[in-house]
Amino acid sequence: MKSKLIIIRGNSGAGKTTVAKTLQKTIGRGTLLVAQDVVRREMMFVKDGKDNLAIDLMKRIAEYGNGKSKFVIVEGITAAKWYGDMFNELIDDFDDRYLAYYFDIPFEETVRRHNLKPNSHEFGEKEMRRWWNEKDFLNLDKEKVITSDYSVTETINFIIKDIEDD
């Protein structure tokens, strides 16, 4: 089986996780979702940064899905300065079969969205501003930008169309 890698990135509160989980359900069973928050915060319990142990584990999980799952979705803030090499290596591992999306959402909108989440009490605007990476593109040939003009449904439909066209 030839697997396709789908990269979903952006700042905290941009809607990445919602889209990734919905996309996984839309695509169907057997779609592997590698969520940065799950791997880094829940599995590894490490702080984000250069050389954190979660980067290698995320890569290994995604590699495991290559050839076993039709689609492997890697989702998270995944700052380019720390995760860029991982993505380039994964793209090579997937023989350039990938789609990439960067959620370029204004800071104020990410705060508004964050405040609607059930876990909004865990951190707030101050932390989000500290983590903020403006226009943190990977500069990949296939990287597309998702703006706040897109609803979740429109974003899913956009990605599904790309999957069908690719």
Higher pLDDT, 140 or 1: 140
Nearest C-alpha neighbor of 78 from the set 140, 25, 155? 140
Is residue 166 scored above 90 in pLDDT? no
Residue pointed to by tokens 């380039």: 88
Domain at 80, CATH number: 3.40.50.300
The 10s digit of each residue's pLDDT in 42-91 is: 999 999 999 999 999 999 999 999 999 999 999 999 999 999 999 999 99
φ, ψ dihedrals at 134, nearest 5°? -70, 125
Q: Specify the pLDDT at position 39.
A: 98
Is residue 1 scored above 90 in pLDDT? no
Into how many domains does the chain fold? Answer: 1
pTM: 0.95
The 10s digit of each residue's pLDDT in 141-157 is: 999 999 999 999 999 99
Q: Specify the pLDDT at position 140.
A: 96
The 10s digit of each residue's pLDDT in 14-40 is: 999 999 999 999 999 999 999 999 999
Q: Specify the pLDDT at position 37.
A: 94
What residue numbers bound the domain in which 39 lies? Answer: 4-165
**Residues facing residue 32 across a β-bridge:** 72
DSSP string, 23-89: HHHHH-TT-EEEEHHIIIIIII----STT-HHHHHHHHHHHHHBTTBSEEEEEE---HHHHHHHHHH
